[in-house]
A and B are shown apart, each in its own frame.
Chain A
Amino acid sequence: MAFETPSPTAKLSIQSLSKNYVIDQKALRVLLNIDLDVHEGEFVSIVGRSGCGKSTLLRLVSGLENDYSGTIQLDGKVINAPSLDRGMIFQDPSLLPWMTVRENVAFALVNQNIPKAEKDKRVLDLIDLVGLKGFESAYPKELSGGMAQRAAIARALVSQPKVLLLDEPLGALDALTRLRLQNELQRIWLQHRMTMIMVTHDVEEAVYLGDRVVIMDPEPGRIRRIVDVPLPHPRDRASPVLHAIRDEVLKDLTNGVVI
């Protein structure tokens, strides 16, 4: 397997971050006073009900949106535009339908001055890493949902980002594929030890993968609580500690109301 050496990682620092959207000339507060430090090589999960601004938070960190107050810094540098330092994976794989898997993964390096031979090698290594060997020449329409998301993961990793941002990456997949890809994500993370921040609706997934779980409240979006998951990786799904933490997070999310 390629990339035995860990990728460079980075420390993300978010301080009193607020964000408003203006809708019909009225300001809508999406995020209010977010403070969050993510350590190098840490896996942070973010959970919260719809409308708590968790996806917006990720878009701000990615640089796709840059209209905010407060500071977002990566290794001390202010973030205000997309950069290959930060890879992004959406719920929708967003592959370009006219490109093969190989071309899609290579597109991440479209504006990089890398010799073709090295580019090709990196692309093929990552296709191998996500388990898509043999599908290099397939078009997205020929892939299942899980395979398409694997391709999107390969594309996000090929530029060797320091931080990987995942916006409900497995949300559209069936339960079995989802479990399998959770394990894959954990394996990739263990191999690369890059910083990962994942937004999810699935508390079990958040606890299983995260070193810490950030619980957010909606309207305006703010951090309610941060829960530590002090278990080593790779983890055992059946671990009683894991289940206890999951129940606690679930309880907190639902304000103690039993669903």
Chain B
Amino acid sequence: MNTAVLTDIRPTTGDRITKFALGLRGFVIPVLALVAWQLASQQGAVQAYVFVPLDGVFKSLIEHFADGEIPINWLASLGRTASGFAIGGLLGVSLGALMATFRPVDVLVNPIYQAVRQVPLLGYIPLISLWFGNGEPSKLLIISLAAFYPTVLNTYEGLKHIDARHVAVGRIFLASRWQTFRHIVLPGALPSVFTGLMQAVAFTWLSSVGSELFFNPGPGLGNMMANGQAAFRMEVVLLAVIIIGVTGYVTNLIVSKIADRVLRWRNVR
């Protein structure tokens, strides 16, 4: 191989500064919005109620962290999301796998699944509150469903579309049923399963906050928001929105990093 003409492509200090500066581009719009917000809050008393001054929001952040309101509600929402993700994800992957493996299950369950899936989760809230009440079980059900739908679909699709050439390789080398599953079917379906799990992470977090807004009792960021609104404390509402956004962003980032690591063999074009 000829390596003599290859140029040195290691990043220089200048490259690093450029990269850092480019990375800051994502902050341009938020900073502009904050400046506009701050200006709006200084226009009068009414504006100061709707657009809480930023120093007020920051003060309230410190205050409610110290008195435990933020940690309690934040952890409650996170815990609820994690439980729903675990329940819905586990059931979803299992049902998707059963449907892909056993034809009778596919024939019996697939049409119902496709029909039920057409109704948005919010559409089930009246029914669910009628059947299961206003409390924790109803919230958990909504969140579990949010994890269930995408994992069923993507597990099913992943298992149904295993490359025939890879299956032939298994046959040629006399792989047993278990070996074929372990070395060919499972890894072949994994990218699709991960797509489902990543959607589930995003949907569960959204539906967790949503269900807290619709069903009343218990701590959670959604409740914190609702209570803040009821008490005319806009800075609390704003805080909840920011915490929800940042948490969702960070969890998605973590999950996609895990996927990149587990699926590092994947050819991303």
- List residues of A whose CB falls within 8 A of some B CB: 62, 64, 82-84, 88, 90, 92, 94, 96-99, 107-111, 139-141, 159
Contacts and interface: CB of A to CB of B under 8 A. Distances in A.
B174 A111 contact: yes
Given A90-B165, A96-B187, A99-B183, 11 more contacts: A62-B172, A82-B171, A82-B172, A84-B173, A84-B174, A94-B165, A96-B184, A98-B187, A111-B176, A141-B266, A141-B267
A92 B264 CA distance: 22
Given A84-B174, A107-B173, A107-B183, A98 B168 contact: no
Q: Which of A88, A96, A108 has the most CB of B within 10 A?
A: A96
B175 interface: yes
A62 B265 CA distance: 29
Interface in B155-199: 165-166, 168-169, 171-176, 179, 183-184, 187-188, 190
Q: Which of A98, A109, A159 has the most CB of B within 10 A?
A: A98
B173 A139 contact: no
Contacts of A96: 166, 169, 183-184, 187
A159 to B, nearest CB: 7
Contacts of A109: 173
Nearest to A97: B265
A141 B265 contact: yes
Given A98-B187, A110-B183, A141-B267, A159 B173 contact: yes
A108 B173 contact: yes
Contacts of A99: 183, 265
Q: Which of B165, B169, B176, B266 has the most CB of A within 10 A?
A: B169
B248 to A, nearest CB: 30
A165 to B, nearest CB: 10
Nearest to A96: B166
Q: Which of B171, B179, B188 has the most CB of A within 10 A?
A: B171
A110 B264 CA distance: 23
B153 to A, nearest CB: 22
22 contacts: A62-B172, A82-B171, A83-B174, A94-B165, A94-B166, A96-B169, A97-B265, A97-B266, A98-B188, A98-B190, A99-B183, A99-B265, A107-B183, A110-B173, A110-B179, A110-B183, A111-B173, A139-B264, A139-B265, A140-B265, A141-B265, A141-B267
A107 B169 CA distance: 9
Contacts of A141: 265-267
A145 B176 CA distance: 29
A107 to B, nearest CB: 6
Nearest to A139: B265
Interface string B63-97: 00000000000000000000000000000000000
A97 B173 contact: no
Closest 10 pairs (CB-CB, A-B): A141-B267, A98-B187, A139-B265, A94-B165, A98-B265, A111-B174, A108-B173, A82-B172, A110-B175, A94-B169
Nearest to B174: A111
A64 B171 contact: yes
